[in-house]
């Protein structure tokens, strides 16, 4: 368990949060926790679809503010910079929620446009990707863009959530956590979120 120091601004934001905001925070943390416990990788589509479904179907003040989005991503691993276009996040009130623990836990950089992504690569990579490599990154970006459009348009039969059991098992796990969380008072919920922000 890693001890993380959170600043006063973060604490104040949590202490001033509404009940809905606290439940969404707990939901977000629980999705990542489930992946960490079960060593899950490569499921950003299912993770985003589940989070999106929960927000859209249960939080009416947010259903017109939530959107699944394909995104360019870069992170450093073993001293090397890794960049790709095949990743998906959820935007909620213009804030990025990366539901993938394997990526989110490594302090990645996100880019919503190809121009900013390309500039970052040119400024941070000694060996720039070839045109062929850039084409592969762009193809993956557009492929994930189609998945995002289908989730946002509720065309679920077209979404390649390739492991339905994963989605279902994660939902069962998280529903129990949220049920228990909802039995707490508003103050207890705030303390729970702060504790989980500090101990990771």
The pLDDT of residue 71:
94
The pLDDT of residue 179:
95
Helix (H, G, I), strand (E, B) or coil at 111: strand
- Kindly state whether residue 26 falls inside one of the protein's structural domains: no
- Kindly state whether residue 82 falls inside one of the protein's structural domains: yes
Domain region containing 82:
40-184
- What Cα–Cα distance (Å) separates residue 184 from each residue in 20, 27, 149, 181? 13, 15, 36, 6
pLDDT value at 195 more than 70: yes
Give the model's confidence band at 104: pLDDT under 50 very low, under 70 low, under 90 confident, else very high. Answer: confident
**pTM of the predicted model, to two decimals?**
0.88
- Kindly state whether residue 16 falls inside one of the protein's structural domains: no
The pLDDT of residue 38:
94
- Kindly state whether residue 13 falls inside one of the protein's structural domains: no
pLDDT in tens, 114-135: 899 988 988 887 767 778 888 8
Question: What percentage of residues in the chain have a pLDDT greater than 90?
Answer: 51
- Kindly state whether residue 189 falls inside one of the protein's structural domains: no
Q: Kindly write down the DSSP assignment for every residue of 29-98, as one continuous string.
A: HHHHHHHHHHT--S-HHHHHHHHHHHHHHH-TTTTTTEEEEEEEEEEEETTEEEEEEEEEEEEETTEEE-
Report the number of distinct structural domains present in the chain: 1
Q: How far apart are CA 69 and CA 129, in angstroms?
A: 24
- Kindly state whether residue 197 falls inside one of the protein's structural domains: no
Is the four-CA dihedral 30, 93, 82, 47 of positive or negative sign? positive
- Kindly state whether residue 17 falls inside one of the protein's structural domains: no
Helix (H, G, I), strand (E, B) or coil at 174: helix
Characterize 23-52 residue by residue with b for buried, 16 or more Cβ atoms within 10 angstroms of its Cβ, and e for exposed: bbbbbbbbbbbbbeeeebeebbbbbbbbbb
The pLDDT of residue 199:
46
Rg (CA), the chain: 18
- Kindly state whether residue 89 falls inside one of the protein's structural domains: yes
The pLDDT of residue 157:
61
The pLDDT of residue 8:
67
pLDDT in tens, 131-188: 888 889 999 999 999 989 989 988 766 555 667 788 889 999 999 999 999 999 999 9
The pLDDT of residue 162:
63
pLDDT in tens, 32-81: 999 999 999 989 999 999 999 999 989 988 888 999 999 999 988 887 88
Q: How far apart are CA 48 and CA 53, in angstroms?
A: 8
Phi, psi of 89 (to 5 degrees): -135, 175
């Amino acid at each position: 368990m890693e001890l993380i120091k959170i600043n006063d601004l973060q604490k104040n934001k949590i202490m001033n949060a509404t009940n809905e905001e606290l439940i969404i925070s707990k939901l977000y943390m629980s999705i990542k926790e489930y992946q960490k416990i079960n060593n899950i990788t490569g499921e950003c589509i299912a993770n985003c679809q589940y989070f999106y479904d929960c927000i859209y179907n249960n939080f009416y003040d947010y259903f017109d503010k939530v959107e699944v989005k394909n995104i360019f991503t870069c992170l450093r691993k073993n001293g090397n910079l890794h960049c790709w276009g095949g990743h998906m996040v959820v935007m909620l009130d213009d804030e990025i929620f990366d539901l993938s623990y394997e990526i989110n836990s490594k302090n990645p950089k996100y880019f919503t446009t190809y121009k900013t992504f390309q500039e970052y690569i040119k400024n941070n990579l000694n060996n720039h990707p070839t045109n062929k490599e850039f084409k592969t990154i762009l193809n993956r970006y557009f492929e994930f863009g189609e998945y995002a459009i289908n989730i946002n348009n509720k065309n679920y039969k077209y979404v390649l959530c390739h492991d339905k059991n994963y989605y279902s098992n994660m939902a069962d796990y998280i529903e129990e956590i949220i049920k228990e969380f909802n039995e707490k008072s508003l103050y207890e919920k705030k303390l729970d979120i702060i504790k989980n922000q500090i101990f990771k």
